[in-house]
Each structure stands twice: as structure tokens, then as C-alpha cells.
Amino acid sequence: MVADVQARLMELGYMDEDDPDGNFSESTRIAVEHFQQQAGLPVTGTVDKATLDALNSPDAQEYTIAIGTENDDVRDIQERLYELGYISKVTGYFGDDTERAVKKFQKLNDLPEDGKVTKAVREMLYSEDAVSNAFSYGDESPEILTFQQRLKDLGYLTTTPDGKFGPDTRAAVKRFQENSGLVADGYIGPATKAALMSKDAQGNALSIGAEGADVEKVQQLLKKLGYMSKVTGYFGSTTDSAVRSFQHNNGLKVDGKVGKKTMALLTSGKAKKSTGVNITGANASSFVEVAKSKLGCRYVRGAKGPDKFDCSGFVYWCLNKVGVKQGYMTSHGWAKSNKYTKIKNIKDLKKGDIIVFKGHVGIIAGGGMMIDASSSNGKVVRRSYTSNWCKRMFICGFRVF
């Protein structure tokens, strides 16, 4: 019965998609309470006959965040509205200001303007297609010129700053956001502006996940110096290790990233050749070890660590913790991503891969097991990814390392 209740709560949006395990966890109880509150039932957190009847009714209402709500979901939504420039502060309480912000977001994104956050609104909020209330493509102003100059100083913008927010500026902003752990939407909202103008702003550098001609150039140089044996065009754990070894031998900061100083020495003709010493950095094993260290941490929708997570927040935190600069993406965003090598067959997944289901993501631990933040279990768990649910809901995988 509990598994059926969980499946229905997931269908209605009160729980994130997961393999219903029949375990009445804290997250299941919270979801039941949210449903009871929205259905006008006594909020007990237990599934009595009235609650079960309401859940199974064809008129059962989908989970909606609206005025008067106060919980972690509200804080999560407000944080994203803040990033997009719709709201000035995050409180965790859905009041008049939040309702106005949601209505404006809905209006600019061609959604019904009712001021309520449904599943569709939440997905649009985290989409790269979301229209912001911030500096964006097509804008022109002296402040944009300032942002462009900063992006150029940090190595993201390769064209001359002109105060016009064109495609080159948008691409530079997205790259900066990705390296800074922000949603890579290409808009300069309050959060992006603060990160960009900070003295600790991340400079542009090639690192794990990068792909293309610039990566090939770096690999060719590393191969010539004896640090690599082949050129692939993809910056994975092998390239990361080669870069670290190069940096170590040449007296540079060892971080596995190809920034200005590393690139300058690589192309100088004065770099030291490989001594055969291999320095490892981020790889599949270290990634899985980071994931293992969080087993048992509480599941909280919208949480991104370090001690509580939802499924997307867990993958996001683990990647960044191991040194992979990856912006936050929902499971929907992962499903549409083309950044890493895509794995189409569930049987081809390897240790350290990201596994993507409809509405859920996890990390392959090896041996037919994955580590994920599970809404049905209410915590980070290690479990099989070969169940019928997993096979049915599997979309793809991604090889980062």
C-alpha cells in the first residue's frame, strides 16, 4: 500500500520521481502532509481512509506552491527567482512579493498568470529557455559594457566589449555561470552579477567536461611533451591527470585546469617534458567515493548539500566537490544536456557515470548499483539500478570521466 501511495504522490508532484520502495520515510510523511493541506484535510501525515480516497480521486489536485506556503520548496523557488531578477530577497515564505514575482515570470514565459508554482512552472524556472527579468540577449547599456569588460578580463569574452548583449556575450555568460556553479541560462541576474564582480570570480579555464578544438590543441601539446599518448578532443580524467602532471613538473599550481598561466607555458616552447610521474585528480573512483561519503544524508526537495540533498542537488554537489565545475541542472536539464559523452544503453554504464531517469538522476557506483538521493527512502542510498522501474524510466547516461 505504501508503494502505491508513493507512486500516486509522485504522479501528483508531491514527491520527486523515484522507485517507490514502500518505505514510509520522513519525505513520504511530509508529502502526505502537503497533500492533506492542499486537499483541505486534517494535516496528520498519516494515510487514513479520507486521505487515500482523496489521493485516488480523479480530481486530486497536483502539488502547487502558492501564497501562504512556508517550506524548503518555497526557499528553492525564491532562490531561482532571485537569480533571474524577479525577487530581491529569499525568506522561505510565499507572500505577496513572491506571488507578484511568480506572476511576472509566468507572463514573460507565456504561462497562465495565476501566481502559483506548478510542476510546469518549476521546470521552466530551471530551463535554459526561461525568460529572465535581468540583463539579457538584445539589451544595450553602459552596465553591460562593464560586465563585458569583466568577462574579457576573466578570459571568457574573446570579442571587443561594446555594451551590446549579443551572442558572444551570452555564450561567455553561460560559460562563467557553469564554472561558478550557477544555472547556465545566459542572463545576468543578481546572483550572476554578484559572482562576476566578486574579487573571487572564477577565471575561464579548460577542465573536465570541455570538448572541442581548443581541447585538441592542449592535448596535442601535452602529447608532444610526453604527458599524453593520444588526442581525443574530450577533456576527461586522462587529460586532467596529464595537466596536473605538467603543472607539477613546471612549478605551476596543480589544479588540473588549463587557464592563462598553464596555456602560456604550454605554448612557450620552454615547458619541461614528462618525467613519467603521474599525478591523478578527479576520476570515476574519487567521484564515487565522494558520493559514498554522503550515504544516509537526508533527502530534502531543492537541497544542494552539503548535508541534505534532492537527486539533482546531490549530483551537482558531488561533481563540484571532486573538481568538475558543473552548473545546477534538474533531471529534465540532464536529459537534454549534450555536454558530456552520452550513453544510450543502460547496460553500457560504468562506475562514475551519471544515470538519468524520467524525473530522477543518480551516480553509478559499479556492480549494478547506484548512489542517489532517494525521495521514497528519504535519504541518500546505495541500491540497484536494474529494477523494473529503473529500466522503464531510464533515459540515458553521461560519462564525465
Please state, in angstroms and rounded to a whole number, the distance separating the CA atoms of residues 277 and 51. 64
Report DSSP state, residue 258. B
CATH classification code of 213-266: 1.10.101.10
177 SS3 class: helix
Rounded to an integer, what is the distance from CA 268 to the centroid of its chain?
37
Strand order in the sheet with 341-343: 308-309, 298-299, 379-384, 369-374, 360-366, 354-357, 394-399, 341-343
Parse the chain into domains and list their residue ranges: 2-56, 72-125, 142-197, 213-266, 284-399
Q: What single letter denotes the amino acid at residue 318?
A: C
Please state, in angstroms and rounded to a whole number, the distance separating the CA atoms of residues 164 and 143. 10
Please state, in angstroms and rounded to a whole number, the distance separating the CA atoms of residues 2 and 81. 35
User: CB-based contacts of 217: which residues, under 8 Å, 6+ apart?
Assistant: none
| Phi–psi pair at 80, nearest 5 degrees | -70, -40
Homologous superfamily of domain range 2-56: PGBD-like superfamily/PGBD (1.10.101.10)
142-197 is classed in which CATH architecture?
Orthogonal Bundle (1.10)
Same fold, 142-197 and 284-399: no
- What does the pLDDT profile of the chain (401 residues) look like in tens digits? 899 999 999 999 999 999 998 889 999 999 999 999 899 999 999 999 999 999 999 999 899 999 999 988 899 999 999 989 999 999 999 999 999 999 999 999 999 999 999 989 998 998 878 998 999 999 999 999 999 999 999 989 888 999 999 999 999 999 899 889 898 899 999 999 999 999 999 899 999 988 888 899 999 999 999 999 999 999 999 999 999 999 999 999 999 999 989 999 999 989 999 998 888 888 999 999 999 999 999 999 889 999 999 999 999 999 999 989 888 999 999 999 988 999 999 999 999 999 999 999 999 999 999 999 999 999 999 999 999 999 999 999 999 99
Distances (CA, A) of 255 to 208, 243, 262, 290, 378: 11, 8, 10, 18, 35
Q: Count of CB atoms within 10 A of residue 201's CB?
A: 17
User: CB-based contacts of 183: which residues, under 8 Å, 6+ apart?
Assistant: 80, 83, 126, 128, 177, 327, 328, 329
Please state, in angstroms and rounded to a whole number, the distance separating the CA atoms of residues 373 and 16. 10
3.40.980.10, 3.40.50.1370, 3.90.1720.10, 3.40.50.970: CATH of 284-399: 3.90.1720.10
Contact 243, 256 (CB under 8 A): yes
